Amino acid sequence: MYRFRELTKAAKKETDGKEFRLAVLGNCATQFFSQCIAGYAHLEGMNLKVHDADYDQIEAQLLDPSSETYGYDPDYILIYLATDRLYEDFMSLAVKEREGFADSVLARLSSFWGMIGEKCRAKIIQMGFSEIDDRAFGNFGNRVPVSFVYQIRRLNWLLEEAAATRAGIYPVDILSVQTALGNERFYDPVLYYNAKVNIALDSWGYVAKQVYDVINALQGHTKKCVILDLDNTLWGGVIGDDGLSGIEIGELGRGHVFTDLQLYLKQLKDRGILLAVCSKNNEDTAREPFLSHEEMVLRLSDFAIFVANWEDKASNIRYIRDTLNIGMDSLVFIDDNPFERNLVRSMIPEICVPELPEDPARYLSYLQSLNLFETASYSSEDADRTGMYQAEAKRRESEASFASIDDYLISLDMEGTASPFDELHYPRIAQLTQRSNQFNLRTVRYTEEDIERIASDERYVTLYYTLRDRFGDHGLVSVVIMEKRSAEEFFVDTWLMSCRVLKRGMEEFIINRMVEEASRRGALRIKAEYIPTPKNKMVEHIYDEMGFDCTGEGLYSLEIGSFNKMKTYIREN
């Protein structure tokens, strides 16, 4: 972790890139917290500006529409109620009133959220609660509603419950930092009584990291795939030397370590992170444990792609990236061998390569402490992502057997749908706007709340598209939002598409329906825009290809009257 002084110094430095603004509001002095968040973000390369509101001004700032906080036009508002202040509030209540403490704090938070929602577009970063256990009732305290430990634990629970039912609230689990550091490191009583700084200076960096991780995920930067070495990473020993009965997994030797690591990876796979193998081995040897070792947790079907050969790992990782078609910076590479790690790091600087500890017993706790898999959303479609990529591999095999691309596309027997946004799909639609980087024309990020608002706003025409073929269902693959700028003119605010379905006629299918919908509503023309980002070069010319006229840099226009329906092999369902 960065030292406190590194963070406060970095807070003053400028960073390049798109600017984001965060306003910090607390019931206590938050300068150090704000500086550490800004410093951490700058050191990680995010251009985050942080505005620190005056001490204990939350209500005043949020009630007044012309307050500094709203005037700052923040992308995010962070609300931090420090537990030591809550403890003071709690102690000032008569004993019989203490029972309702957690509920009253939550009601206060709810009112903050309501005020923010009415007055600005900011997403809410809501700090959870660290714990003070005063042991006033000893271990018995957890069942006594008038004890503070009962109320603060209940409050953390109520917060997560409330955030789950309300869009646009993103809790930060500060308690996880306290637990990881332990009270001895997390708190500093001398600092507290001397300067009223409620947690130790060296703890702020850890808390700031959690805030940064949440904001970073909200900006669509998430890890999507873990690439794994095999020997001494997924099991102890070397399969080529030790053989099936000699590798450590399950009961043998240090096997438990590797079993737990595999269980963890399996859990990641089940929540939608892809797993890939990249191993220096003969392919048959490498596959053998997954096929024949009874104690292996992971099986071949858990991997989106399996690469075992004697090529260098950087080349293999590039191959994996190309096959899965995801960003290099969404990959994590796990390998016990420092040589391989350094090679990959130096050849592919964007990839995340955790510096595994030497002792495998420490692999798992180290990996978990990095919090690599932060996410801003979860939908049931995530769970089957591996299956989708495996179906894609089958499609590729089949593609090779056709003489022409048209024959191949016809053979896929594709069926598409287009529907206006509906409640069931809000989470997935919001998630796609947050995660899609490559096929995304304007890269506008929306929360579930935004999507709901747009869906019910007459000024917008919304469409989500699905695609299936004989190998399987791709699910929801594309999102279009058109804004009616006037009776005659519609503007494509958002067009994004999953890269899995590139170049099989989906682009044409989408445009056909887009034009049809606009035309049906009386539009004469569709305007569109391409906003370049470091990642969306692949769609630089898509509007040219779709028959739009270029009217300026990145600006396009399509006259509906002269539009000819584009050819596609996707049937409409």
Q: How far apart are the first and last CA of the chain?
A: 53
Nearest CB to another protein, comparing residues 29 and 106:
29
Question: Please, which residue, 115 or 181, has the CB nearer to another protein?
Answer: 181
Give me the least distance between CB of 383 and another protein, in Å please.
45
DSSP string, 152-192: HHHHHHHHHHHHHHSTTEEEE-HHHHHHHH-HHHH--HHHH
Q: What are phi and psi of 359, to 5 degrees?
A: -80, 120
> Is the Cβ of residue 184 or residue 322 nearer to another protein in the bound state?
184
Give the C-alpha separation, 458 to 238, whole Å: 63
- In the complex, the smallest distance separating the C-beta of residue 181 from another protein, rounded to whole angstroms, is 15
* Chain residues in the site for another protein (CB under 8 A): 3-5, 8-9, 31-32, 190-191, 193-195, 197, 201-202
Tell me how far CA of residue 344 lies from CA of 40, 269, 316, 325, 356, in angstroms. 25, 23, 10, 19, 14
Which is closer to another protein, CB of 191 or CB of 252? 191
Specify which residues 469 forms β-bridges with: 472
Q: Which is nearer to another protein, 194 or 401 (CB)?
A: 194
**CB of residue 42 to another protein, shortest distance in Å:** 16
Residue type at position 362: R
Q: Based on CB atoms, which residue is closest to another protein, 5 or 121?
A: 5
Question: DSSP assignment of 216-237, as one string?
Answer: HHHTT----EEEE--BTTTBBS
Greatest Cα pair distance, the chain, in angstroms, is 82
Task: Please tell me the distance from the alpha carbon of residue 432 to that of residue 93, in angstroms, as a whole number.
Answer: 47
Residue 183 CB coordination number (10 Å): 13
- Residue 347 — left, alpha, or beta (φ > 0 → left; ψ -120 to 50 → alpha)? alpha
Minimum separation from the CB atom of position 190 to another protein (A): 5
Write out the two tokens for 77: 């508002």
Least distance from another protein to the Cβ atom of residue 279, Å: 42
Judge whether 187 and 181 are in contact, CB under 8 Å. Answer: no
Least separation, in Å, of the C-beta of 155 and another protein? 29
Closest distance to another protein from the beta carbon of 120 (Å)? 29
Report the residue number, 196 or 541, with the smaller CB distance to another protein: 196
DSSP states of 484-545? E-SSSEEEEEEEEE-GGGTTSSHHHHHHHHHHHHHHHTT-SEEEEE----SS-GGGTTHHHH
Q: Shortest distance, CB of residue 194 to another protein, whole angstroms?
A: 6
CB of 32 to another protein, least distance (A): 7
Instruction: CB nearer to another protein: give 63 or 195.
Output: 195
Q: Which two tokens stand for residue 558?
A: 């399509």
Distance CA 198, CA 188 (A): 8
Nearer to another protein, 193 or 339 (CB): 193
